[in-house]
Protein backbone atom coordinates (compact mmCIF):
# COMPACT_ATOMS: atom_id res chain seq x y z
CA UNK A 1 0.00 0.00 0.00
CA UNK A 2 1.28 3.47 -0.87
CA UNK A 3 1.11 5.53 2.32
CA UNK A 4 -1.04 8.64 1.83
CA UNK A 5 -0.70 10.30 5.21
CA UNK A 6 -0.09 9.88 8.92
CA UNK A 7 -3.41 8.10 9.46
CA UNK A 8 -3.06 5.54 6.67
CA UNK A 9 0.24 4.08 7.92
CA UNK A 10 -1.58 2.30 10.77
CA UNK A 11 -4.04 0.67 8.39
CA UNK A 12 -1.19 -0.34 6.07
CA UNK A 13 0.75 -2.06 8.86
CA UNK A 14 -2.32 -3.85 10.24
CA UNK A 15 -3.18 -4.99 6.75
CA UNK A 16 0.36 -6.27 6.11
CA UNK A 17 0.27 -8.33 9.31
CA UNK A 18 -3.25 -9.64 8.85
CA UNK A 19 -2.29 -12.87 7.13
CA UNK A 20 -0.25 -14.28 10.03
CA UNK A 21 -1.47 -17.87 10.37
CA UNK A 22 -0.92 -17.87 14.13
CA UNK A 23 -4.13 -16.22 15.43
CA UNK A 24 -2.65 -15.26 18.80
CA UNK A 25 0.42 -13.70 17.17
CA UNK A 26 -1.90 -11.71 14.94
CA UNK A 27 -3.98 -10.54 17.90
CA UNK A 28 -0.93 -9.56 19.96
CA UNK A 29 0.90 -7.77 17.16
CA UNK A 30 -2.08 -5.87 15.80
CA UNK A 31 -3.02 -4.61 19.29
CA UNK A 32 0.63 -3.69 19.86
CA UNK A 33 0.80 -1.70 16.63
CA UNK A 34 -2.53 0.03 17.28
CA UNK A 35 -1.46 1.06 20.79
CA UNK A 36 2.05 2.12 19.72
CA UNK A 37 0.70 4.25 16.90
CA UNK A 38 -1.95 5.76 19.19
CA UNK A 39 0.76 6.49 21.75
CA UNK A 40 2.91 8.35 19.20
CA UNK A 41 -0.13 10.37 18.08
CA UNK A 42 -1.24 11.17 21.63
CA UNK A 43 2.15 12.52 22.75
CA UNK A 44 3.11 13.87 19.29
CA UNK A 45 6.38 11.93 19.60
CA UNK A 46 9.35 13.92 18.29
CA UNK A 47 12.20 12.39 16.29
CA UNK A 48 14.65 13.11 19.13
CA UNK A 49 12.37 11.31 21.58
CA UNK A 50 12.03 8.38 19.20
CA UNK A 51 15.84 8.14 18.88
CA UNK A 52 16.19 8.31 22.65
CA UNK A 53 13.64 5.50 23.10
CA UNK A 54 15.40 3.27 20.53
CA UNK A 55 18.73 3.88 22.28
CA UNK A 56 17.10 3.18 25.66
CA UNK A 57 15.84 -0.20 24.39
CA UNK A 58 19.25 -1.02 22.94
CA UNK A 59 20.87 -0.19 26.25
CA UNK A 60 18.40 -2.45 28.09
CA UNK A 61 19.63 -5.30 25.89
CA UNK A 62 23.29 -4.38 26.35
CA UNK A 63 22.89 -4.25 30.15
CA UNK A 64 21.44 -7.80 30.19
CA UNK A 65 23.67 -10.80 30.74
CA UNK A 66 23.68 -14.21 32.48
CA UNK A 67 23.61 -12.53 35.88
CA UNK A 68 21.36 -9.56 35.28
CA UNK A 69 18.09 -9.03 33.41
CA UNK A 70 17.50 -5.33 32.72
CA UNK A 71 14.41 -6.02 30.57
CA UNK A 72 12.60 -7.66 33.49
CA UNK A 73 13.78 -4.86 35.78
CA UNK A 74 12.34 -2.27 33.38
CA UNK A 75 9.04 -4.10 33.13
CA UNK A 76 8.95 -4.38 36.95
CA UNK A 77 9.71 -0.72 37.50
CA UNK A 78 6.87 0.48 35.28
CA UNK A 79 4.39 -1.84 37.04
CA UNK A 80 3.99 -4.02 33.96
CA UNK A 81 5.14 -7.27 35.61
CA UNK A 82 2.69 -6.82 38.47
CA UNK A 83 -0.09 -6.02 36.00
CA UNK A 84 0.60 -9.22 34.05
CA UNK A 85 0.76 -11.18 37.31
CA UNK A 86 -2.59 -9.81 38.56
CA UNK A 87 -4.24 -10.39 35.17
CA UNK A 88 -3.19 -14.03 35.19
CA UNK A 89 -3.89 -14.99 38.81
CA UNK A 90 -6.71 -14.65 41.34
CA UNK A 91 -9.51 -15.49 38.89
CA UNK A 92 -8.03 -13.32 36.15
CA UNK A 93 -7.67 -10.30 38.40
CA UNK A 94 -11.13 -10.54 39.98
CA UNK A 95 -9.98 -11.56 43.47
CA UNK A 96 -6.99 -10.95 45.71
CA UNK A 97 -4.18 -13.28 44.79
CA UNK A 98 -1.29 -14.87 46.61
CA UNK A 99 0.90 -14.36 43.52
CA UNK A 100 3.54 -11.69 43.05
CA UNK A 101 6.07 -10.83 40.39
CA UNK A 102 9.03 -13.21 39.90
CA UNK A 103 11.63 -10.44 39.65
CA UNK A 104 14.97 -10.75 37.88
CA UNK A 105 16.83 -12.88 40.45
CA UNK A 106 15.27 -16.36 40.46
CA UNK A 107 17.77 -19.10 39.60
CA UNK A 108 16.61 -22.52 38.49
CA UNK A 109 18.84 -24.95 40.40
CA UNK A 110 18.96 -23.80 43.98
CA UNK A 111 20.31 -26.45 46.36
CA UNK A 112 17.91 -29.10 47.70
CA UNK A 113 17.83 -28.54 51.44
CA UNK A 114 16.31 -30.58 54.28
CA UNK A 115 13.38 -29.02 56.10
CA UNK A 116 14.69 -26.97 58.99
CA UNK A 117 18.05 -26.59 57.20
CA UNK A 118 19.84 -23.29 56.73
CA UNK A 119 20.12 -21.38 53.47
CA UNK A 120 22.89 -19.22 54.93
CA UNK A 121 25.85 -20.64 52.98
CA UNK A 122 28.55 -18.16 54.04
CA UNK A 123 28.92 -15.61 56.85
CA UNK A 124 25.97 -13.24 56.38
CA UNK A 125 24.99 -10.40 58.72
CA UNK A 126 21.51 -10.00 60.18
CA UNK A 127 19.35 -11.52 62.91
CA UNK A 128 18.47 -15.20 62.55
CA UNK A 129 15.12 -16.04 60.99
CA UNK A 130 13.25 -19.32 61.41
CA UNK A 131 10.48 -19.63 58.83
CA UNK A 132 7.75 -22.24 58.46
CA UNK A 133 5.49 -22.39 55.45
CA UNK A 134 2.37 -24.43 54.91
CA UNK A 135 1.33 -25.31 51.36
CA UNK A 136 -2.36 -26.11 50.84
CA UNK A 137 -4.98 -26.23 48.12
CA UNK A 138 -7.71 -23.54 48.15
CA UNK A 139 -9.78 -25.64 50.59
CA UNK A 140 -6.94 -25.83 53.08
CA UNK A 141 -5.94 -29.43 52.30
CA UNK A 142 -2.18 -29.84 52.87
CA UNK A 143 -0.14 -30.50 49.76
CA UNK A 144 2.65 -33.00 50.28
CA UNK A 145 5.74 -33.15 48.04
CA UNK A 146 5.38 -29.62 46.71
CA UNK A 147 8.80 -28.18 45.86
CA UNK A 148 9.28 -24.75 47.37
CA UNK A 149 12.13 -22.56 46.16
CA UNK A 150 13.19 -19.74 48.48
CA UNK A 151 15.47 -16.85 47.60
CA UNK A 152 16.25 -13.47 49.06
CA UNK A 153 18.86 -10.76 49.12
CA UNK A 154 21.44 -10.49 51.86
CA UNK A 155 20.89 -7.73 54.40
CA UNK A 156 23.79 -5.89 52.73
CA UNK A 157 21.34 -5.31 49.89
CA UNK A 158 22.50 -7.76 47.20
CA UNK A 159 21.56 -11.19 45.91
CA UNK A 160 24.47 -13.65 45.88
CA UNK A 161 24.77 -13.42 42.08
CA UNK A 162 25.38 -9.66 42.41
CA UNK A 163 27.97 -9.96 45.16
CA UNK A 164 31.34 -11.68 44.87
CA UNK A 165 31.63 -11.76 48.67
CA UNK A 166 28.76 -14.24 48.97
CA UNK A 167 28.98 -17.97 48.34
CA UNK A 168 27.27 -19.32 45.25
CA UNK A 169 23.59 -19.94 46.09
CA UNK A 170 23.78 -18.12 49.43
CA UNK A 171 20.22 -17.43 50.69
CA UNK A 172 18.70 -19.79 48.15
CA UNK A 173 17.27 -23.24 48.75
CA UNK A 174 14.71 -25.75 47.57
CA UNK A 175 12.49 -27.58 50.07
CA UNK A 176 9.93 -30.38 49.79
CA UNK A 177 6.74 -30.23 51.84
CA UNK A 178 5.94 -33.01 54.31
CA UNK A 179 2.63 -34.84 54.86
CA UNK A 180 1.21 -31.72 56.56
CA UNK A 181 2.26 -29.55 53.64
CA UNK A 182 4.98 -27.96 55.79
CA UNK A 183 8.43 -26.76 54.86
CA UNK A 184 10.80 -24.87 57.11
CA UNK A 185 14.17 -23.24 56.94
CA UNK A 186 16.65 -21.04 58.73
CA UNK A 187 17.99 -17.83 57.22
CA UNK A 188 18.59 -14.23 58.23
CA UNK A 189 15.85 -11.62 58.41
CA UNK A 190 15.75 -9.91 55.00
CA UNK A 191 16.33 -6.18 54.70
CA UNK A 192 15.10 -3.77 52.04
CA UNK A 193 17.46 -3.11 49.15
CA UNK A 194 17.80 -0.92 46.08
CA UNK A 195 17.28 -2.47 42.63
CA UNK A 196 20.35 -2.05 40.36
CA UNK A 197 20.52 1.55 39.19
CA UNK A 198 23.68 1.52 37.06
CA UNK A 199 21.75 0.93 33.81
CA UNK A 200 18.94 2.59 31.86
CA UNK A 201 16.36 1.76 34.55
CA UNK A 202 18.42 3.73 37.08
CA UNK A 203 18.52 6.63 34.61
CA UNK A 204 14.72 6.51 34.35
CA UNK A 205 14.23 6.37 38.14
CA UNK A 206 16.49 9.39 38.66
CA UNK A 207 14.70 11.36 35.95
CA UNK A 208 11.40 10.62 37.72
CA UNK A 209 12.80 11.42 41.18
CA UNK A 210 11.92 7.91 42.37
CA UNK A 211 13.84 6.02 45.04
CA UNK A 212 15.14 2.57 43.98
CA UNK A 213 14.11 0.57 47.10
CA UNK A 214 12.17 -2.60 47.53
CA UNK A 215 10.75 -3.29 50.98
CA UNK A 216 12.33 -6.30 52.76
CA UNK A 217 10.91 -9.59 51.46
CA UNK A 218 11.41 -13.28 50.84
CA UNK A 219 10.66 -14.86 47.46
CA UNK A 220 8.91 -18.23 47.04
CA UNK A 221 8.16 -20.42 44.05
CA UNK A 222 5.99 -23.48 44.81
CA UNK A 223 5.78 -26.25 42.20
CA UNK A 224 3.60 -29.33 42.23
CA UNK A 225 2.19 -31.25 39.26
CA UNK A 226 -1.57 -30.63 38.96
CA UNK A 227 -1.30 -27.12 40.45
CA UNK A 228 -0.54 -23.72 38.98
CA UNK A 229 3.01 -22.81 39.92
CA UNK A 230 2.78 -20.24 42.69
CA UNK A 231 5.29 -17.41 42.55
CA UNK A 232 5.06 -15.04 45.47
CA UNK A 233 6.80 -12.84 48.02
CA UNK A 234 6.32 -12.26 51.73
CA UNK A 235 7.05 -8.72 52.93
CA UNK A 236 8.19 -7.53 56.34
CA UNK A 237 5.37 -5.57 58.01
CA UNK A 238 6.39 -2.06 58.98
CA UNK A 239 9.10 -1.69 56.32
CA UNK A 240 9.41 1.99 55.38
CA UNK A 241 9.05 1.21 51.65
CA UNK A 242 5.92 -0.98 51.74
CA UNK A 243 3.82 1.85 50.29
CA UNK A 244 6.37 2.87 47.69
CA UNK A 245 7.94 -0.38 46.42
CA UNK A 246 9.89 0.65 43.31
CA UNK A 247 8.43 -2.35 41.43
CA UNK A 248 4.84 -2.09 42.74
CA UNK A 249 4.89 -5.64 44.13
CA UNK A 250 3.16 -5.24 47.50
CA UNK A 251 -0.43 -6.37 47.93
CA UNK A 252 -2.16 -6.58 51.33
CA UNK A 253 -2.17 -10.38 51.44
CA UNK A 254 1.59 -10.56 51.02
CA UNK A 255 2.57 -8.73 54.21
CA UNK A 256 3.99 -11.32 56.62
CA UNK A 257 4.17 -11.53 60.37
CA UNK A 258 7.90 -11.57 61.17
CA UNK A 259 7.87 -11.93 64.99
CA UNK A 260 10.76 -10.58 66.99
CA UNK A 261 11.98 -12.59 70.01
CA UNK A 262 14.17 -10.87 72.59
CA UNK A 263 14.11 -13.47 75.34
CA UNK A 264 13.52 -17.17 75.96
CA UNK A 265 15.32 -20.19 74.58
CA UNK A 266 16.58 -19.56 71.06
CA UNK A 267 15.73 -22.22 68.46
CA UNK A 268 19.43 -23.08 67.96
CA UNK A 269 22.49 -22.95 70.21
CA UNK A 270 24.37 -20.35 68.14
CA UNK A 271 21.44 -17.89 68.00
CA UNK A 272 21.60 -14.64 69.94
CA UNK A 273 18.60 -12.40 70.62
CA UNK A 274 16.90 -10.87 68.86
CA UNK A 275 15.83 -13.58 66.46
CA UNK A 276 12.72 -13.74 64.28
CA UNK A 277 10.13 -16.34 63.38
CA UNK A 278 7.74 -16.30 60.44
CA UNK A 279 4.79 -18.50 59.66
CA UNK A 280 3.27 -18.17 56.22
CA UNK A 281 0.79 -19.92 53.96
CA UNK A 282 1.11 -20.76 50.28
CA UNK A 283 -2.23 -21.60 48.65
CA UNK A 284 -1.90 -23.33 45.29
CA UNK A 285 -4.74 -23.31 42.78
CA UNK A 286 -5.37 -26.38 40.60
CA UNK A 287 -3.86 -25.87 37.17
CA UNK A 288 -0.83 -26.46 35.05
CA UNK A 289 2.56 -26.80 36.74
CA UNK A 290 4.97 -24.80 34.57
CA UNK A 291 8.27 -23.25 35.48
CA UNK A 292 9.07 -19.76 34.22
CA UNK A 293 12.17 -19.16 32.13
CA UNK A 294 14.86 -18.21 34.64
CA UNK A 295 15.73 -14.52 34.18
CA UNK A 296 19.36 -15.33 35.11
CA UNK A 297 21.50 -18.47 35.29
C1 LIG B 1 13.32 -8.73 43.47
O2 LIG B 1 12.60 -8.66 44.42
O3 LIG B 1 14.15 -9.61 43.47
C4 LIG B 1 13.22 -7.72 42.40
C5 LIG B 1 12.02 -7.57 41.75
C6 LIG B 1 11.94 -6.64 40.74
C7 LIG B 1 13.03 -5.88 40.39
C8 LIG B 1 14.22 -6.04 41.06
C9 LIG B 1 14.31 -6.96 42.08
FE1 LIG C 1 13.81 -9.57 45.81
Expressed as residue numbers, the domain containing 233 is 70-283
Where helices occur in 156-208 by DSSP H, the ranges are: 200-207
Residue 290 inside a domain? The answer is: no
- Give the pLDDT confidence score for residue 99 in this predicted structure: 86
- Whether residue 81 is found in the same domain as residue 31: no
My answer on whether 202 and 153 are in the same domain is yes
Q: Are residues 33 and 177 in the same domain?
A: no
Within this chain, do residues 31 and 92 fall inside the same structural domain, yes or no? no
State how many domains the chain has. 2
Residue 15 is assigned to a structural domain of this protein: yes
Q: Does the C-beta of 105 come closer than 6 Å to ligand 1?
A: yes
Q: How many angstroms does the Cα of residue 159 sit away from the middle of ligand 2?
A: 8
For residue 153, the ligand 1 atom closest to its alpha carbon is 3
Answer yes or no: do 167 and 223 share one domain: yes
Q: Tell me if 202 CB under 6 Å of ligand 1.
A: no
Contact 255, 233 (CB under 8 A): no
Examine residue 297 and state whether it is found in any structural domain, yes or no: no
Q: 124 with 171: CB under 8 angstroms?
A: yes
**Within a domain: 57:** no
- Examine the domain organization and report whether 123 and 33 are in the same domain: no
Q: Are 148 and 224 in contact (CB under 8 A)?
A: no
Residues 235 and 271 in one domain: yes
Q: Whole-angstrom distance between the N-terminal and C-terminal Cα of the chain?
A: 45
In a domain, 199, yes or no: yes
Task: Give the pLDDT of residue 230.
Answer: 94
Please check whether residues 15 and 91 belong to one and the same domain: no
Same domain, residue pair 99 and 151: yes
Strands 217-223 vs 213-214: parallel, antiparallel or unpaired: unpaired
Residues 11-31: tens digit of each pLDDT: 999 999 999 999 999 999 999
74 lines ligand 1 (CB under 6 A): no
Residues 35 and 167 grouped into a single domain: no
- Residue 88: predicted pLDDT: 85
Tens digit of pLDDT for each residue in 159-171? 999 899 999 999 9
Q: Looking at the structure, do residues 80 and 114 belong to the same domain, yes or no?
A: yes
Helices (H), 150-295: 200-207
Give the CATH number for residue 129: 2.60.130.10
User: What is the full per-residue pLDDT of the chain (297 aa) written as tens digits?
Assistant: 899 899 899 999 999 999 999 999 999 999 999 999 999 999 999 999 999 999 999 999 999 998 889 999 999 999 999 999 888 886 655 445 578 888 889 999 999 999 999 999 999 999 999 999 999 999 999 999 999 999 999 999 999 998 999 999 999 999 999 999 999 999 999 999 999 999 999 999 999 999 999 999 999 999 999 999 999 999 999 999 999 999 999 988 899 999 999 999 999 999 999 999 999 999 999 999 999 999 878
**Residue 51 lies inside a defined structural domain of this protein:** no
Q: Are both 89 and 12 inside the same structural domain?
A: no
- Tell me the whole-structure pTM to 2 decimals: 0.90
Q: In sequence order, which residues have a C-beta less than 8 Å from that of residue 271 and are 6 or more positions away?
A: 128
Q: Please give the number of the atom of ligand 1 that sits closest to the Cα of 77.
A: 7
* Residues annotated as catalytic (active site), given as ranges: 159, 193, 214, 217, 219
**281 CA from centroid of ligand 2 (Å):** 19
What per-residue confidence (pLDDT) applies to 97? 54
Note whether residue 50 is domain-resident: no
Amino acid sequence: MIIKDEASVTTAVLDAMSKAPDARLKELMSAFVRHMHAFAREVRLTEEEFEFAADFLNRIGQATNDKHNEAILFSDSIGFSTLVCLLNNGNAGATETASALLGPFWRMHSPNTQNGGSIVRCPTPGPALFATGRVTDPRGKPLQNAEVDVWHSSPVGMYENQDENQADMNLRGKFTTDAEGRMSFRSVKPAGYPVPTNGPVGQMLRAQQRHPYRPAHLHFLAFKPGFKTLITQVFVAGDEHLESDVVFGVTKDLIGDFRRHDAGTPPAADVKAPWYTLEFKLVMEPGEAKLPTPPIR
